[in-house]
Structure 1
Amino acid sequence: MKFIQFSDIHFGAEDPAAIEAATDFAQTENADATIICGDLTQRGKQSEFLAARNWLDTLPGPKLTVAGNHDTPLLHLWHRARKPFSRYASYFEAFEGPLIVKGVRFCGLNTSRGWQFRRNWAEGAVRLRDLDEILDGKTYDAATVIACHHPFLSPPGSPLNTRTRRGRRASKRLMSSGVQLLLTGHVHTPSVTFREGEHGSGYLSVSAGTLSRRLREAPPSFNVIELDDDTISINIHSFRNGQYRLDGRSVWPR
């Protein structure tokens, strides 16, 4: 099976050319699913959510989304503290999952918070009980893929060093769970990292790039991921000279 991984669209600060080309790609790629790893909006405005939902409705096939730290109302402090994701849910509740496609179970995990007792509220946090619910519900006749916004551990060489609360403990649980794929965003740079546990067990942490003008050290990009009986293929497509080109490919055993 094949699916597309988008993240960090940031409607309100989007790159129109990159989004248009990505939409054309998705409409012709014949993927089995689309997974979006958060930050659909820039400031959590109604107009931005509407634009994001209208865009999502143009993409074919089943879809799963998770919230990002930008998907809370930036300027409405009461809502950010008390109901940070109510606006997000009103537009995307139908895409929360879990989503089962061709024997693969996609589950969303919310690592974003509207407000926290820490200097940088944009950093992520994992509720271990939420992760445990996903892992406890894992069935043996379906592969499980987890999607969230923040990497559990900062990707090596990333221009943004992430500090996800309880991320190290979450990573250790995932290493021994049998789950092979964690899909993330937030860092705006595509990356593939194998997180190895004991006895060779582990999982692939796969970050997607951005489709926005909020670039860091990489052009707009997304991932196309293929699963077959024996391998996992990660294909990074980057936006260069007005079109997406295959910019990197790695193949891993299942």
Structure 2
Amino acid sequence: MTRILHLSDLHFGLERTTLIAPLLDLVNAARADLVVVSGDLTHRGRSAQFAQAAAFLRRIEAPLIAVPGNHDIPLYKLTDRIMRPYRRYRDAIARTLEPIGHVGDIRVQGVNSVDPMAWQRGAISTDQVARVTRALDPACVNIVALHHPLQQRPEVDKALAEGAPEALAGFESAGIHVVLTGHLHIWSIGAFQGASGRSLLQIQAGTALCARPGDLQNEFAVLDFQGDDLLVERHIAPMSEPGFRPPEYLRFTRRTGIWQSL
């Protein structure tokens, strides 16, 4: 079994301060083989916020990879956003924007979906898709991690990332098994499988720490991969409660070549 822990949308600068210690305790108690953080480590991409985010990440005991989100680049300083959008991210978090994590039979490829020219919307290029698909390991469960979702429910009012439909088609046809995203602050797993299932499973994380009242809750997920089976352990902390509830469990399998819930 290989254990991946998925965090997203920490939003340091607008974080739920009282939840930091409980979150760290649960993350470290999970003893994950790899922690994946899918963007928006900060709320406004400021140096002090990156310092908070970096201090938090240093306290995570497992190996870790992260990709930037649209909140991790300058919003108001347009020159910085255009000329050096990732300077603070690279200085505080990691030099690479598209890291690779390889643990056991799991390979996670990070993709930077931030578009400094659009700020919120995001974009995924054909070059990025080609680079990911060329590097697939046929002996592994291949996972892509990026900030912006590749599909959204009709009620979502944010614009879908440019190139998302093409990226989804390219990833699925190449044999990507799982895509991890964030951005919407809304949990979703298997929402786009359809009646017959699909060979690619999309897991959209809620926000792990953002204190925006409209989000209603914070959460993260632990993903246990064993062969063709996946056990998802979802941890939820409602805004109206002091900490995390006991986890919820969901099971999926791809023994027939497509993902199906059990």
Common topology (TM > 0.5): yes
Contact 2:150 2:165 in 1 (8 A): yes
Q: Which residue matches 2:146? A: 148
Between the aligned partners of 2:83 and 2:73, the Cα distance in structure 1 is: 11
Structure 1 position 19, deviation (Å): 2.1
2:189 corresponds to which of 189, 192, 199: 192
1:37–1:148 CA contact under 8 A, matched in 2: yes
- Residue 34 of structure 2 contacts residue 101 of structure 2 at CA under 8 Å; is this kept in 1? no
In 1: Cα distance, 2:154 partner to 2:214 partner: 12
* SS of residue paired to 1:8: coil
Question: Does structure 1 residue 16 correspond to structure 2 residue 17?
Answer: yes
Match of 1:90 in 2: 91
- The sequence identity of aligned pairs, in percent, is 27
Q: How far does the alpha carbon of each residue in 1:8-56 deviate from its partner, in whole angstroms, 9 at most, with x for none?
A: 1010000112222110101211111111010000111111101100100
1:214 aligned partner, one-letter code: R
What's the secondary structure of 1:213's corresponding residue?
coil
Which letter maps to 1:80? R
Q: How far does the alpha carbon of each residue in 1:81-118 deviate from its partner, in whole angstroms, 9 at most, with x for none? A: 111112111222257521111121111101112223xx
Q: Name the CA distance, whole Å, in 2 between partners of 1:246 and 1:185.
A: 22
Q: Quick check: 1:237–1:248 contact (8 Å CA) kept in 2?
A: yes
**Partner Cα distance (2:175, 2:9) in 1:** 27
**Contact map agreement 2:67 2:99 (CA 8 A) in 1:** no
- Pair 1:249 & 2:245 matched: no
Q: How far apart are residue 158 of structure 1 and its match? A: 5.7
Measured in 1, the distance between the counterparts of 2:183 and 2:18 equals 21
Q: Provide the C-alpha distance between the structure 2 equivalents of 1:243 and 1:43, rounded to a whole number of angstroms.
A: 25
The alignment partner of 2:214 has SS state of: coil
- The SS at the match of 1:64 is strand
1:226–1:233 contact (8 Å) kept in structure 2: yes
Residue 45 to residue 91, structure 1, CA distance change in 2 (3 Å): same
Residue number among 104, 107, 132 corresponding to 1:105 in the alignment: 107
CA deviation string 1:136-165 (max 9, x = no partner): 1111122211100000111x3665444111
Using a 3 Å threshold, how does the CA distance of structure 1 residues 212 and 158 change in structure 2: closer, same or farther? farther
Letter in 1 for 2:107: R
Equivalenced residues, count: 248
Per the alignment, residue 225 of structure 1 pairs with 223
RMSD across aligned C-alpha pairs, in angstroms? 2.0
TM-score normalised by structure 1 residue count: 0.90
Q: How does 1:106-145 map to 2 (within 5 A)?
A: 106-116=108-118, 121-145=119-143
CA-to-aligned-CA distance 1:177-215 (integer Å, 9 cap, x gap)? 211110000001111135459x96431111111111124
- The SS at the match of 1:225 is strand
Q: Distance in 2 between matches of 1:92 and 1:158?
A: 33
Match of 2:77 in 1: 76
Unaligned stretches of 5+ in structure 2? 255-262
Matched, 1:55 2:56: yes
Contact 1:43 1:70 (C-alpha < 8 Å) held by counterparts: yes
Secondary structure of residue in 2 paired with 1:93: coil
1:119-151 per-position Cα deviation (integer Å, ceiling 9, x unaligned): xx3012111211211111111122211100000
Residues 41/130 of structure 1: CA separation in 2 closer, same or farther (3 Å cut): same
